[in-house]
Each structure stands twice: as C-alpha cells, then as structure tokens.
A and B are shown apart, each in its own frame.
Chain A
Amino acid sequence: MIRGRALTFTVLAAASLVALAVVGYTPIHSASRDEIFAIPKGTWARRMSGDKVEILPDHIRLTLGIRDILVLRNQDNVPQIFGPTLMMPGQSFRLPFERAAEYTFACTAHASGQMTIVVEPNPTTPWARIRWRLMDLLSTLG
C-alpha cells in the first residue's frame, strides 16, 4: 500500500517536472497581441444616471511580443475620453508598444487623473516563461 503511494507520488512528481520543463522551455506564442478594452453601448447613459462605470483599469500590464498592443473601442453612442485620447462613437484606437517601460498617460476617466501601462520584456528564460504563464492563467481564472 505504502509502496503503491510512493510510486504514485514519484510518477506525479516526474510528470510535474516534465510539464514544468515544457512550460519553461516552450516559447510563448499568442493568437493575438491585442489587449482589448471597450466602452459598451449605453455607458454614457449609465454614467448620467449615477452609475460608476469603470472600464479601463488605472494599471495595465502588457508583455512585449506577446500582448503588446493596447486596443480601445468606443461602442457607445457619444464621444468618450478613453485612456489618452478622445474617441468618436464606433471608433477604435490601436496603440502598439515596442519598448519595455512604464508609461503614464493623463486620463480624466480615473480619479488619479492618470493611467499607467507597464510593458514588461518578453519572457525569454524558462522561469520567466513559467511565471508569465502562471500569471496569465491566474488572470484568466479571474
């Protein structure tokens, strides 16, 4: 019984190490480099009625080569100041980043008056890839 458990543990540990190696050594590819935020239709009306509608977080994390294009879409019926820019109804804005750095933009939609975008370097080491995938998994799970 004990021997059986030890064997199970050994197999699981070995499988974990193999999976960890796959996660660490497989380059990260993304189907899309876009990080999309949209103002849905009716947002202005909701704000006018007193709802506090937060769409754009005041901190956004991007990663070079994987998810390094910020896409803002105004799907509402009125112009909106969204992030760094004024956007007309139905308009989208696509902002690429090519350098890892912290960017701050004036943004009247936030109480702090600014929005920060942290662009991280492309994870090239196994541990960096593991960390990136883990963070991505956690953010997907919410």
Chain B
Amino acid sequence: MRHSKARWATALLAVTFAGSVGAANTGIPNNPPLLKAGTFDPPRPAPDFDLPGSNGGELRISSYRGKVVLLAFGYTSCTAVCPTTLNTFAVARSKLAATAADVQVVYITVDPQRDNPARLKKYLGAFDASFVGGTGTEQQLAAVRKTYGVTAEKKVVGDSYAYEHSSFTYLIDRSGRIRALMPYGHSPDDYVHDLTVLLKE
C-alpha cells in the first residue's frame, strides 16, 4: 500500500518536474506579426486577368498598380459571407478617410449565370460606389480562381442554387504582389490596420 503511494508520488513528481522545466523555459517570444492578416513570404505577383468589369470596361488587376487592392470572390445572391465582407470593406474605407482613394476593392463573381456587369455594379454600389466587380464565362472565372487558389462549388437549393466559396480576401500591395490573406470575419479595424501598413510602403 505504502509502496503504491510512493510510486504515485514519484510519478506525480516526475510529471510536475517536467512541467517545471517547461515553466522555466522563458525564451523571448517572436516579434508580433506586422499584419493582422496571414502574410506570404516571399510574396508573389498577383496573377493578372482580363474580365468584363462592372465599370463598363475590361477589368484587369494590373490596372490598379500603385493602389492597395482588396480582392475577394463571391456572388451577389450570397446571403451570408459576401454582404458582411463587402460591408466590412466599406466601413474600413470610410475610416481611412483621405487615403481611401488609394484602396481599390475588386470583387470577382463565382456566379456568371446571374452576375452580369450591370448587376454587379448595382450590387457593389450599394456598399461603396468605388468598388468594381468582374464577371465572365464559367471557364474564364474558373481559370482565375485556379490561379488564386479559390474554390467555388455550386449547390442546388430547392428551385435555385447557391455557392460554397472561399471566403478570404487577398491584400495586394502597390507593386501588385499578393502580400496577405485575410480570413473571413475580421473587423473593419483589422483591415484599417493592415491597409495603413501597406499604404505607407
């Protein structure tokens, strides 16, 4: 009985000793990350595309060199992710005030069947008149998604359909490089933080 207790005590001591060693590990933590978003190292050039745009012309990501671009993928019938994300962009832009002119939101649809340039313009304009959207054929849009690692899967819902699609946003710097990826759900202030960092470069 006493042997048993001693063994238990020894085991407990061993575990807590190991923990104590861990507790004594007081290394210097890494520097805090520069951005709230996930960052790429090294950043790669944002793949260019040429799509019918909501601005009435051709939409190319390369047209926005010199600006910081927020690039997102979605569709105008989306009821959850897209309105939240676009509203977040609009609030972030309004908080940036004077520097907002150097931030461009680009929104590529995953639903070419419903989202033509006029519909995109009306939808995006409800959030911010400066936002631009891109559409195209199924093949064009699939090719763009592939180069950005974006997924979109059509799901039949009753008589209609919806899409499950990537919900993150790419942050592209003034040089046209994909610097970061912001997961869905971040606040306007997080965007303001990261945009401010990128705008100062």
Contact = CB atoms under 8 A, between A and B. Distances in A.
A33 B29 contact: yes
A133 B18 CA distance: 9
A136 B22 contact: yes
Interface string A89-109: 011111110100001011010
B19 A5 contact: no
B20 interface: yes
A137 B20 CA distance: 11
> What's the interface size class on B, roughly?
35 or more
A85 B38 CA distance: 10
A128 interface: no
Interface stretch (B1-9, B52-60, B88-96): B1-9
A38 interface: no
Interface in B113-140: none
Contact of A9 (B2, B39, B40): B2
Contacts of A106: 151, 164, 166-167
A31 B29 CA distance: 5
Interface in B28-79: 28-30, 32-33, 36-42, 44
B37 to A, nearest CB: 8
- The listed residue with most A CB atoms (<10 A of its CB), out of B13, B28, B44, B181, is B13
**Majority SS of interface residues in chain B?**
mixed
Given A94-B41, A98-B36, A22 B13 contact: no
A81 B19 contact: no
Given A69-B33, A81-B149, A106-B164, A19 B20 contact: yes
- The listed residue with most A CB atoms (<10 A of its CB), out of B44, B183, B185, is B183
Interface in B14-30: 15-20, 22-30
B113 to A, nearest CB: 22
B10 interface: yes
B40 A32 contact: no
A129 B9 CA distance: 20
A93 B183 contact: no
B19 A137 contact: yes
Given A133-B23, A137-B15, A30 B29 contact: yes
A49 to B, nearest CB: 24
Given A22-B20, A23-B19, A134-B15, A32 B27 contact: yes
Interface of A: 2, 5-6, 8-9, 12-13, 15-16, 19-20, 22-23, 26, 28-34, 69-70, 81, 84-88, 90-96, 98, 103, 105-106, 108, 129-130, 133-134, 136-137
Interface of B: 2-3, 5-6, 9-10, 12-13, 15-20, 22-30, 32-33, 36-42, 44, 148-149, 151, 164, 166-168, 181, 183, 185
List 4 A-B pairs, minimum CB-CB distance, nearest first: A86-B149, A31-B27, A95-B38, A19-B16
Given A93-B181, A137-B15, A137-B19, 12 more contacts: A9-B9, A19-B17, A22-B19, A23-B22, A32-B27, A34-B30, A69-B33, A85-B149, A85-B181, A88-B44, A98-B36, A129-B23
